[in-house]
Amino acid sequence: MKKFLIMLTPAAIMFWASPFATAQEAQQPAPVTVDAAKGLPEWAKIYAVFSHPRCAGCHVADDRPRWSDAHYGGTRVHAFNVQRGSDGSGFGNPGLRCMTCHFSSNSNGLHGPPGAENWHLAPVEMAWFDESSAEICTQIKDPARNGGRSLQ
């Protein structure tokens, strides 16, 4: 009986106190002001990463990653017939997955393959290879083309 009263007491207090509780309005966040003078230099840093050959080369609209940089003599399709993969995963075809050469860390050799965990092609929706700064900016702000993300 004592255990029952101990469990019932908090419920009774809440029940009798509820008419005296006042509702509180949720505070809305302050509107974000956009300062182009500050934002554009920050975007330039982001765009430098997005457009870098080691990033953009796997953000392709077709199934073939690209090599592009001065030491490649321009842009060319990745050697060894590397492709997105018949399963659409972006990890490559069986027998020649991206991780065959792209390990979890960068290669120590000159011009060796870069590395990262789970190296694979980006989803086609995130293709921005050879796109302008304005086109990439528009794309990553569009929830229909960025995986449903918002800027908030």
Residue 14 or residue 137, greater confidence = 137
pLDDT of residue 102: 93
Reference 56, options 152, 145, 133; nearest CA is 133
Nearest residue to 135 (alpha-carbon basis) of 57, 41, 51: 51
Distance CA 30, CA 99 (A): 45
In the predicted structure, residue 5 carries a pLDDT above the cut 60: no
Q: Span 130-142, mean pLDDT? A: 94
Structure tokens at 119: 């190296």
| Pairing label, strands 96-97, 66-69 | unpaired
The reported pLDDT for the residue numbered 72 is: 77
pLDDT of res. 139: 94
pLDDT tens for each residue of 40-83: 999 999 999 999 988 999 999 999 999 988 777 888 999 999 99
Cα Rg, the chain, nearest whole Å: 26
Q: Supply the pLDDT for residue 14.
A: 62
Structure tokens at 53: 């050959």
Q: Which tens digit of pLDDT belongs to each residue from 6-23? A: 655 665 566 665 565 566
pLDDT tens-digit map of 89-135: 899 999 899 999 999 999 998 878 889 889 999 998 899 999 999 99
Q: What is the pLDDT of residue 136?
A: 96
The residue type of 15 is: F
pLDDT at residue number 33: 78
> Bigger pLDDT: 5 or 83?
83
pLDDT recorded at residue 42: 95
The pLDDT assigned to 26 comes to 72
Q: How far apart are CA 73 and CA 16, in angstroms?
A: 79
CB 137 within 8 A of CB 43: yes
